Structure 1
Amino acid sequence: MNVDQNIKEAPVSAKLRGLIGRLREHPLARVGPGLITGVADDDPSGIATYSQAGAQFGLNMLWTMPLCFPLMAAVQSMCGRIGRVTGKGLAANIKASFPPVVLRFVVVLLLAANTLNIAADIAAMGEVAELVTGVNRHLATLFFTLATLVLQVFVPYHRYVSFLKWLTLSLLAYAAVLFTVHVPWSEVALRTVWPKLTLNADTATVAVAIFGTTISPYLFFWQASEEVEEMKGARSLLEEATPSEREFRRLRWDTWSGMFYSDLTSYFIILATAATLNAAGVTNIETAAQAASALRPLAGDLAFVLFAAGILGVGLIGVPVLAGSAAYALAEAMGWQEGLELKASDARGFYGVIAVSVLAGLAIQYLPISPMKALFWSAVINGVVAVPLMVVVILLASSRSVMGPFTSSRPIIILGWIATALMAGASIMMLFPS
């Protein structure tokens, strides 16, 4: 009886194994650090920036997103490749290849910028939660802060990352908003490639803000370190005798698809606010919560709920990524044990940085500091650190002494230098406005 049963079950088992194999080969099964990094790029403070662009300029800032896509994807591709090829995070590679002052400069500014960015993000989440549920915003920010801390500190990475992947679906809310409002699609197509803009200080300021929030230093550290986490103890590509081309295909697919998802969502946010707020004469938006609130009388409760849900969803990704990237950077700089797969008792310094960053962001809510001021100074610091850090990333990704035979391709390197030049110009315009 058992023999016959085993004979009957064998073909089924073979089919099941084949199905599992095909599912593992499916492109959606291969997304990972790139997807999470891309969604974290559309955090609540980023949503506020894109909302302001749509409200102030209507459809005439849509062109920024097609331009940003290949540039941000190229930079993140280099960061992911550095992590997977060397088996070390970005800070560890900087430490090994550059003078100590370079690493200190980058890490100190990153910690300051990330803490201010966390403060702005959890403030926005608290405001939105209050709008939707009526719960006091300070209680809501306390809840979100504790929730993100508990998940990062007490849940192993392989489980926690699944939660983050599901949260990436929250970005679909912004595509859904477009089905609740009238969108002049022919005008959208035209203005995406041929905007009507007056070149003045206001235009430059918003363009600088868009590029600054889209290409952010904290994403560089997160992408490289998460590639190391995904290795699950496997050897780096430099250590493998014959590295698989399939791994490089996975890296390319994951990074470019994740950045495309992020970029397309940013496009949708600009479009949604342009088609509603700008069309109704609302041209000044300071926070993501204000954008959601302004949508309600113009586009109805459904648009408001979708927009608000998106803010909360991406906030729950953005805050951990901000805190995590700072922790990876400082732990690698100091030579501490690091990694979200480790227990808190085995990586006290690493998890301590996460806790201090998030709790400091929470504390700012109770100080006489405007969240928008925190966001402004975060953008300034990011602008200062982005350009030299991008130069460092390009030099690492193109160095045979670091990457061996697996340096980034020439087109990627060229796109990286173009992105660096663009960010340098944006930073100069931000720091020294005319």
Structure 2
Amino acid sequence: MSWRKYIGPGPLVAAAFIGPGTVTVCTLAGVNFGMELLWALGLSVVATIVLQEMAARIGLVTQKGLASVISQSLHKGIVRYFSIALVLMAIVLGNAAYEAGNISGGALGVSLFFPLPTLSIGQLEISLTNLLIGSIAMLLLLSGNFKTITGYLTVLVVLMSLAFLLTAILLKPNFHELADGFIPRINSENILNIVALIGTTVVPYNLFLHSTLVSKKWKEITDIKYIRFDTILAVVIGGLVSMSIVVTAASGKILAVESAADLAMGLETLLGSYAKYFMAFGLFSAGITSAITAPLAGAMVVCGCFGWSTEIQRRPMRISIIVILGLGLIFSSFGIKPIQLISWAQVSNGILLPLLSAYILWLVNKKSVMKGQQNKLFLNLIGIPIWLITLILGGWTVFRIFFDTGG
């Protein structure tokens, strides 16, 4: 059996949740709390594997994306229209807003190698680096097919993983502290960081992306073993990358750090210039891979909700990709900070994650949908507590947004 049968959309899943936001959240967790929160990432990895496997199984059995299955499974009425509207608002607006962060994060990595100038046109300032990152993502999405895109992202994810892991290893972390970091600790000081670490790993749009891509890669029920291997490998690698960033930030003993770019510069004094370039390449890879997967996932959700084709060559997919990526490029290149848009996107995602987890649990136990591939009792016993975690996470996110804005 060819090894290619075992590798599917997993690299895209890993690429999607290891973005500049994840790099920044993990950096700050390491700087502020050392290795104390590694357990939260471990929990996130388990939750992500369980939810992604369920979403992928739905995609395999139905041969449709999650958005299409949810849309078709809900009867017409207020619940159906509310659900579809929430999904579209959270995914499309959220991905457009976060796309600006993906492009800007990738540009930070590039600027540590060779900074490009900023053009001033009247009151507007256009970042050429951001424009370059966004253009590369757009060209890859519009000129390639899923196989080509997966090939590029697989290479980038492997190189990104090596960059972050090697940086962590070079710092020779204390193994006692490393082991101690997997003992759960929750208090008023670290709760926001715990929520951020889980929230940046368990990503709603990844569930839509994964289910659709699985339906394109595998066709037979017997392929489930390949799907599980691909899913577990991708999420574990992504989790190890996140952990290595925390370890790097904790072991670096650098105090004045506000972003991954600051960490990269700080490492230069500890390990020499090559460490800075490892981190810079990792940050660039995280940005460019997420800049590709975010609009791809958003476009799949739009087309899935309306029953349109999710083939990348079709007009609805291309238009959706251009709109989502284009908005992100505008926000980032022109220095526009869509704070309100991101806040509402976080609120929507905070509601969407527990709702989506509940839909997935409902669908994988529905005989008419799963045709004999329903959840076993063991998976439900794991899935229900994970749904409760997403409910708490979502509730806390919504509360924090409204609390911070005075709403």
Superposed pair shares fold, TM > 0.5 = yes
Structure 1 pair 373/174, CA: closer, same or farther in 2 (3 Å)? farther
Structure 1 pair 219/151, CA: closer, same or farther in 2 (3 Å)? same
Contact (CA 8 Å) 2:167, 2:278: kept in 1 or not?
A: yes
1:411 maps to which of 370, 375, 378: 378
- Whichever of the two has the greater Rg, that structure is 1
Deviations 1:45-67 (A, max 9, x none): 11111111111111111111222
1:225 aligns with 2:225: no
Residues 390-401 of structure 1: pairs in structure 2 closer than 5 A: 390-401=357-368
Report the equivalent of 2:326: 359
Shift of 1:378: 4.4
1:171 aligns with 2:161: yes
1:44 aligns with 2:20: yes
1:136 aligns with 2:117: yes
Give me the whole-angstrom Cα distance separating, in 2, the residues matched to 1:95 and 1:313.
34
Shift of 1:377: 5.3
Give me the whole-angstrom Cα distance separating, in 1, the residues matched to 2:134 and 2:101.
12
Q: How many residues align?
A: 387
Deviations 1:303-336 (A, max 9, x none): 2111111111122221111101110111111222
1:127 maps to which of 108, 111, 126: 108
Shift of 1:218: 0.8
Amino acid at match of 1:360: L
Contact (CA 8 Å) 2:106, 2:285: kept in 1 or not?
A: no
Flag structure 1 segments of 5+ consecutive residues without an equivalent. 1-20, 238-242
Give me the whole-angstrom Cα distance separating, in 1, the residues matched to 2:30 and 2:20.
15
Shift of 1:376: 5.7
Give me the whole-angstrom Cα distance separating, in 1, the residues matched to 2:359 and 2:94.
19
- The normalised TM-score by structure 1 is 0.84
Deviations 1:188-231 (A, max 9, x none): 11232265x6x11x311111111111101110111001112214
Give me the whole-angstrom Cα distance separating, in 1, the residues matched to 2:134 and 2:240.
28
Give me the whole-angstrom Cα distance separating, in 1, the residues matched to 2:35 and 2:341.
28
Contact (CA 8 Å) 2:106, 2:286: kept in 1 or not?
A: no
Give me the whole-angstrom Cα distance separating, in 2, the residues matched to 1:389 and 1:294.
40
1:54 aligns with 2:43: no
Report the equivalent of 2:73: 97
Contact (CA 8 Å) 2:55, 2:207: kept in 1 or not?
A: yes
Amino acid at match of 1:431: V
Deviations 1:32-57 (A, max 9, x none): 21232023211111111111111111
Structure 1 pair 101/378, CA: closer, same or farther in 2 (3 Å)? closer
CA RMSD of aligned residues (A): 2.1
Task: Give the secondary structure class of the aligned counterpart of 2:308.
Answer: coil
Report the identity percentage: 22
Amino acid at match of 1:420: W
1:157 maps to which of 146, 156, 162: 146
Give me the whole-angstrom Cα distance separating, in 1, the residues matched to 2:113 and 2:346.
28
Give me the whole-angstrom Cα distance separating, in 1, the residues matched to 2:333 and 2:14.
30
Give me the whole-angstrom Cα distance separating, in 1, the residues matched to 2:52 and 2:98.
20
Shift of 1:383: 1.8
Contact (CA 8 Å) 1:39, 1:171: kept in 2 or not?
A: no
Flag structure 2 segments of 5+ consecutive residues without an equivalent. 75-79, 119-126
Give me the whole-angstrom Cα distance separating, in 2, the residues matched to 1:253 and 1:131.
36
Residues 224-263 of structure 1: pairs in structure 2 closer than 5 A: 224-231=211-218, 236-237=219-220, 243-244=221-222, 247-263=223-239
1:114 aligns with 2:114: no
Which moved further from structure 2: 148-157 or 364-373? Answer: 364-373
Which moved further from structure 2: 347-356 or 423-432? Answer: 423-432
1:349 aligns with 2:316: yes
2:255 maps to which of 270, 281, 284: 281
- The normalised TM-score by structure 2 is 0.89
Report the equivalent of 1:293: 265
Give me the whole-angstrom Cα distance separating, in 2, the residues matched to 1:165 and 1:294.
29
Structure 1 pair 206/361, CA: closer, same or farther in 2 (3 Å)? same
Amino acid at match of 1:174: F
